[in-house]
Chain A
Amino acid sequence: MEELGPLSPYRSDRQYVRLETYRRLGLADTTWAAEQFNLRVHVSTAGPPGGEERAAEVWGAVERLPLQVKDILRGVIDEVRLDHDGAFPSDTLGSWRDGTMRINRDWSLIPALRSHSWHRDLGYDLLRAALVHEAGHALVEDPRGGIRLRDTIALVAASGWLPHPLTDPVPYGPVGSSTATLAAYYLTRLRQVDPDWDGEQSLGSPAMPPAAQLDRDLMREAPPARARQRGPRGSLGLLGPDRLLRRLRRANQAELTRELGERGLTLEDVDVALRRRRAVTLYAEQSVSETPAEIFRYTHVPFSRAEHSRPAALEGERVLVEPWRAAERAVGARRPALAPERPWEALQLVRRGVGRELGR
């Protein structure tokens, strides 16, 4: 990995050459991906025809990604694979794991898309959503270093994840009034469940428990694939805000009021805590470990801001975006992009006035 800024993981100090410049030079899109992003590329030949056209759409979407997401691709993704639909769980658009991003090249086979009259713009929006979300996972969980666990927990706290008040009333008192104190409390409790959790390390650090354990240790009902290994372990028992609200509304109110009173709480206390913070999207409520990546997507997809969750958005800006911006400011202007490695063709382009694009 090269060119990391001192203040933020995966901040690059070089600009990017436009994809169009490579195409005008007659160079393959994969050459652009390799030279500008240090990516290996694999396009599966299995499945329906059209893989190359689909790959061109994917690179077009990568070209239009926000600069921070491009830096993550350049700094922490080693390989992009366009695999056939059968290589994914059903309905999957794309995935990430440890340096590899995979995109499903056969969206026409995904039932939810097949039954819709979906058009090119929706396809682009979905592709961008998948790319940004998976880049968010890389920023948080990559083994080479991401954001600190302390900050990951802050994103979880800001998104309204809470224990049932009868199980743990503490977050419904003064501790829950600020995201910082609530996150500190969650981290302390998490270390009681497993002392190996270290707030100063990133989730993917080799010194830490496996990232998948975070759901098991934090959530009340971790998804089955993540919950399997819990065994006798403890858990903070956190629930997403919508699920918790539904559960509390279903409860017998008189009984709930009495039991809350035994813990020094009122229904109003619980109501205030539930309204204080919300998840940015339904996706962010599915599991604790999806929350940071989904907040990252939310911060980079302006139209989604209609789904308002101000505390989570603010925390996302502070934790996921601001360190990268600070690195941008500290390092100053980026070095010119690496020109395509075809000196003669590049010279011809410069003569035709296209060369100005190389410094973009």
Chain B
Amino acid sequence: MRRPDEVYRLVDSRNGAEVTVGGFPLQLEGDADLGQRLRGHLGDPVTTLGSSYDGATGERGTKLVTLHPGDPGWLKESLRRAARDLGLRLTEGGLGGG
């Protein structure tokens, strides 16, 4: 299987449960119960803020951007919201492992 280019770790400090999430299609490893709860948060598009720019006038704008599953940034944004909603700690995997 191809090495995922994004890997995140989510930890529930209340019971030590831990899940590693990476790639698309999603690969979840670790605590089954926490993984199940996370899956409920990973599937829908997420809407976030982004930029618009008019090269002709130099006008800068703030726009809404909808990220769909598989888009760059979608997984991190979804996990950030899941971590907030579920009270988890989110850390990002580095270059090694995964």
Please state if B51 and A290 are interface contacts (CB–CB under 8 Å).
yes
Q: Are A112 and B64 in contact (CB under 8 A)?
A: yes
Give the size of the chain B interface in residues (CB under 8 angstroms): 35
Q: Are A274 and B52 within 8 A (Cβ)?
A: no
> With a CB–CB cut-off of 8 A, which chain A residues contact B55?
212, 225-226, 228
B14 beta carbon closer than 8 Å to chain A: no
* Contact B95 A133, beta carbon cutoff 8 Å: no
Tell me whether chain A's interface is mostly helix, strand or loop, or mixed: helix
Q: Which of B25-33, B34-42, B71-79 contacts A (4 or more CB under 8 A)?
A: B71-79
Give the CA-CA distance A130 to B51 in the complex, in Å: 10
Given contacts A95-B59, A210-B58, contact A245 B73 (CB under 8 A): no
CB closest residue in chain B, given A96: B60
> Is the Cβ of A92 less than 8 Å from the Cβ of B98?
no
Task: List CB contacts (< 8 Å) of A259-310 with chain B.
Answer: 267-268, 270-271, 274-275, 281-283, 285-287, 289-290, 293, 306-307
- Any chain B CB within 8 A of the CB of A105? no
Q: Is the CB of A116 within 8 A of B50?
A: no
Q: Is A287 touching B64 in the complex (CB atoms < 8 A)?
A: no
Contact status B77-A270, CB under 8 Å: no
Q: Which residues of A contact B95 (CB under 8 A)?
A: 245, 248-249, 253, 267, 270-271, 274
Min CB distance B52 to A, Å, is: 5
Do the beta carbons of A283 and B60 come within 8 Å of each other?
Answer: no
What residue of chain B has the Cβ atom nearest to residue A94's Cβ? B62
Q: Is the CB of B94 within 8 A of A94?
A: no
The reply to whether B58 and A212 form a contact with Cβ atoms under 8 Å apart is: yes
| Contact A287 B51, beta carbon cutoff 8 Å | yes
In whole angstroms, what is the CA distance A97 to B62 when docked? 12
Q: Which of B5, B63, B73 contacts A91 (CB 8 A)?
A: B63
Min CB–CB distance B10 → chain A (angstroms):
14
Q: Chain B residues with Cβ under 8 A from A331's Cβ?
A: none
Contact B52 A282 (CB under 8 A): no
Chain A 172-200 interface residues, beta-carbon cutoff 8 Å to B? none
Q: Give the residues in chain A near B72, CB-CB below 8 Å.
A: 242-243, 246
Cβ–Cβ < 8 Å partners of B96 in chain A = 267-268, 271
Q: Chain A's nearest CB lies how many Å from the CB of B22? A: 9
Separation in Å of the B61 CB from the closest CB of chain A?
4
Which of B55, B64, B92 has the most CB atoms of chain A within a 10 A radius of its CB? B64
| Residue in A closest to B80 when the chains form the complex, CB atoms | A307
User: A93 CB to closest chain B CB, in angstroms?
Assistant: 5
Answer yes or no: A137 CB below 8 A from chain B CBs.
yes
Identity of the chain A residue whose Cβ is nearest the Cβ of B52 in the assembled complex = A89
Q: Chain A residues near B6 (CB, 8 Å)?
A: 245-246, 249
**A186 to chain B: closest CB distance in Å?**
21
Expressed in whole angstroms, the minimum distance between the Cβ of A125 and any Cβ of chain B is 10
Chain A residues with CB under 8 Å of B86's CB are none
Query: With A250-B5, A307-B80 as given contacts, are A92 and B62 in contact (CB-CB < 8 Å)?
Result: yes
Complex CA distance for A282 and B95, rounded to whole angstroms: 20
Q: Which of A96, A243, A274 touches B94 (beta carbons < 8 Å)?
A: A274
A97 touches B98 (CB 8 A): no
A95/B60 in contact, CB under 8 A: yes
Q: Taking CB as reference atom, which chain A residue is nearest B55?
A: A225
Q: What residues of B have a CB within 8 angstroms of the CB of A166 in the complex?
A: none
Query: What is the minimal beta-carbon distance from B51 to any residue of chain A, in angstroms?
Result: 5
Q: Is B48 within 8 A of A225, CB to CB?
A: no
- Name the contact of A134 in the complex, choosing from B47, B57, B60, B98 (C-beta under 8 A): B60
CB distance from B76 to the nearest CB of A (A): 7
Inter-chain CA distance A290–B80, complex, in Å, is 21
B76-98 CB mask vs A (1 if < 8 Å, else 0) is 11001000100000001011101
Q: Which chain A residues in 136-159 approach chain B with CB under 8 Å?
A: 137
Given A95-B61, A126-B64, A245-B92, 7 new contacts (CB under 8 A): A94-B61, A97-B60, A226-B53, A245-B94, A249-B4, A249-B5, A249-B95
Measured CB to CB, the residues of B under 8 A from A are 3-7, 47-55, 57-66, 72-73, 76-77, 80, 84, 92, 94-96, 98
Closest 9 CB pairs of A and B: A225-B55, A95-B61, A97-B59, A112-B64, A246-B5, A271-B94, A249-B5, A130-B62, A92-B63
